[in-house]
Amino acid sequence: MSRGRFPAKALAAAMEIAVKRGLVRMYERGPGSLATFAIVRPGLLAEVRVKRLRRMDCTSASLNRDAAQEIAGLKMYPSCPQISRELWVVSQDYFIRFFRIMDNGILELRNDGEPLPAGAVVRPDQIPGPVRFLRRRRRELSGMAKTRKLPPSEAVVSRESGSQSKSPSDCSKT
């Protein structure tokens, strides 16, 4: 059973990619739902489950452990070349990694649904655009939270030297 609030932003980020791949059919969210949505295009049906994880440096073993329930649900769909069972893992920064669930293991995919070349590693710093912006913005906001604003002092400093400062209207007359 999922905990926490509904991942609306994560689902919106996943939908942007899904729409580029084909016709998207959303499933009703509730107990017993196996997939979040399906992507339909000629010759291929992709059943997709979106899962949020805290850590994106997941290996096959850690993914099997952290998303065991989602993987088991996706394995209930038949396995054939025309049906792709996919798990999309979304990080806190809305960086998405794509995995195809096969009978004998897990295969990492590109965002277009094609398998990654052998030896290719996907990291968030390789992706341009919104992911970097979100991380930078999060760092800026956390830096702002750590700075402390001092209350204005109540003591007034008076000048004893006798020289008075000019007001902005006096400066324009000279």
Looking at the domain assignment, is residue 71 inside a domain? yes
Looking at the domain assignment, is residue 93 inside a domain? yes
Per-residue pLDDT of the chain (174 residues; tens, 9 = 90+): 456 677 788 888 889 999 999 999 999 888 888 899 999 999 999 999 998 887 766 677 888 888 889 999 999 999 899 999 999 998 877 888 899 999 888 888 888 888 888 766 665 555 544 555 556 666 666 665 555 555 665 555 555 555 554 444 555 454
Looking at the domain assignment, is residue 129 inside a domain? yes
Looking at the domain assignment, is residue 141 inside a domain? no
Q: In the chain, how many domains are there?
A: 1
Give the whole-angstrom CA distance, residue 45 versus residue 84: 6
Domain of 99, CATH number, reads 3.40.1350.10
Is beta strand 23-26 parallel, antiparallel or unpaired with respect to 96-102?
Answer: unpaired
Looking at the domain assignment, is residue 118 inside a domain? yes
Domain membership of residue 85 as a residue range: 8-134
